[in-house]
Structure 1
Amino acid sequence: MKQKKWMTGLGVMILATSLAACGDTAEDTSMEMSEEQSMDHSAMDHSGSGEVPGGLKEASDPTYPVGSTAMMTADHMPGMEGVEATIVGAYDTTVYAVSYTPTTGGDPVEDHKWVIHEELDNPDEAPLSEGDEVVLAADHMEGMDGAEATIDTVEETTVYMVDYTTEDGEEVTNHKWVTESELEAMK
C-alpha cells in the first residue's frame, strides 16, 4: 500500500513538473511571437510620395548630398541592410524611435524607426525626451497616423529620404527615414 501511495505521489510530481515546463515554453513562445510581431514592418509603406512635412529644413551641408549614393547599414526593415541607396533628400531635425498601438487595432509596435519631430501632432519644442507621450501624424505604416505613442529614443541628426532596391529586387522610392549613422560611404 505504501509503495502504491509513493508511486502515485511520484507520478503527480512528474506530471506537475511537465505541465509547468510546458507552461514556460508556451509563455516563452508567445513572448517571442509578440516581439516578432512588434518588429514586423510588413505593413510599412516602403515607398513614399516624396512629400515632406511643413517646417522641415533641408540640411545645409549634409554628409551625403542629394544625388549621391551611400551603403545602408540600417536593418529596421527587411532587405535594406547592405544595399546601395541614392539620396533624394537630406534634412536636419530630431528623430525618434517610438512605440505605439495602431489606430486600426492589433499588436503594439515597439521601437519603430523613425519618426521625425515634424511628424508629430502639435509637439512641444524639439527635442522631446525619452518617455514623453505624443500623437503621431506620420503614415509610414497602417494605423500610425493619429496613434498615441511613447518616445523610446531621441537623436538630433541629419535624416535622409532614399531610393533603393531591396535584396530581393523590390524598388523602393522616397523611403522615410534613414539616419546619418545608418549610412556609410561607398567603397
Structure 2
Amino acid sequence: MISRKIILSIVSLVIIFTLAACSGKQETAPKGDSGSNVMEGHAGMNHTGSSDVPEGLKESINPTYPVGSSTIIHADHMPGMDGAEATISGAFDTIVYTITYTPLNGGEKVENHKWVIHEEIENATEQPYQPGDEVVLIAEHMEGMDGVTAIIDSAEQTTVYMVDYQDTETGEDVTYHKWVTESELSPVE
C-alpha cells in the first residue's frame, strides 16, 4: 500500500514538472547582430507538422538532398535540432524569408524567425518581397502566426526541405518539420 502511494506521488510530480516545462514563453530570438538564431522558448512552436504544403509550392526537380536521403541539420531554430540526423520528407524550390512579428495571441515579439516561404504569404505577389516589406502570413509554424502582419527581414531563393528527425535533447521524433534550407544541411558521413 505504501509503495503505491510512493509511485502515485512520483507520477504526480513527473506530470507537474512536465506541465511546468511546457508552459514557457513564446519563441523569441536574441537581439543583436550575433547571427545566432537560438530561441529562448518554444512553447508555441509546432515541432511536428503534416505533410501538407501550401498551394502552389513546387517540388524541386533535382534537389541536392532527394526525398528519403539522410542529412545532418546545422540549424538551431529550436533546441535539439542542431546536429540531428534527418531524413528528407520533401524538397521544394521557393523563396524563404526571415520575419519579425508579434503573435496574434499576445505573445512576445518574435524577431528573425526562420523560415516562412513565399507560398505562406497571403495574396503573394509574383515578385519576391524585400526587407522592410509588410506581409500577412498564412502559416501555422507558431501559435498566433496565422493571419499576423509580419515584416520581412531577409529573402533568399533556394531549395527548402521538410525533414524528419529525432530531437537530440528529448529523443522526441519530429516529423514533417517545415522548413530547413539547403545551406543548413550537410551529407551524412
Q: TM-score, normalised by structure 2?
A: 0.78
1:89 to partner: Cα distance: 0.2
Larger-Rg structure: 1
Q: Tell me the distance in 1 between the aligned counterparts of 2:43 and 2:163.
A: 18
Stretches of structure 1 that go unaligned for 5 or more consecutive residues are 1-32
Q: TM-score, normalised by structure 1?
A: 0.79
Q: Tell me the distance in 2 between the aligned counterparts of 1:91 and 1:34.
A: 26
1:6-17 pair list within 5 angstroms: none
**Which residue does 2:136 correspond to in 1?**
135
Deviations 1:109-163 (A, max 9, x none): 1111000000001122231101110001000100000000000110100000000
Aligned-residue Cα RMSD (Å) equals 1.8
1:41 to partner: Cα distance: 2.7
Deviations 1:30-50 (A, max 9, x none): xxx984897533310011011
Structure 1 runs (4+) greater than 6 angstroms displaced: none
Deviations 1:153-184 (A, max 9, x none): 10100000000001120110000000000000
**Which residue does 2:7 correspond to in 1?**
none
Give the residue type in structure 2 aligned to 1:46: H
Give the residue type in structure 1 aligned to 2:110: V
Q: Tell me the distance in 2 between the aligned counterparts of 1:106 and 1:149.
A: 14
Q: Tell me the distance in 2 between the aligned counterparts of 1:73 and 1:83.
A: 8
**Which residue does 1:184 correspond to in 2?**
186
Stretches of structure 2 that go unaligned for 5 or more consecutive residues are 1-27, 32-37
- More helix per residue: 1
Q: Tell me the distance in 2 between the aligned counterparts of 1:64 and 1:34.
A: 28
**Which residue does 2:172 correspond to in 1?**
170
Deviations 1:49-102 (A, max 9, x none): 110001000000000000000000011111000010000000000000100010
Is the 1:38–1:109 contact (alpha carbons within 8 Å) kept by the matching residues of 2? no
How has the CA–CA distance of structure 1 residues 181 and 76 changed in structure 2, closer, same or farther, with 3 Å as cutoff?
same
Give the residue type in structure 2 aligned to 1:177: W
How has the CA–CA distance of structure 1 residues 61 and 100 changed in structure 2, closer, same or farther, with 3 Å as cutoff?
same
**How many residues matched?**
155
Identity %: 60
Give the residue type in structure 2 aligned to 1:52: V
2:132 aligns to what SS in structure 1? coil
How has the CA–CA distance of structure 1 residues 84 and 55 changed in structure 2, closer, same or farther, with 3 Å as cutoff?
same
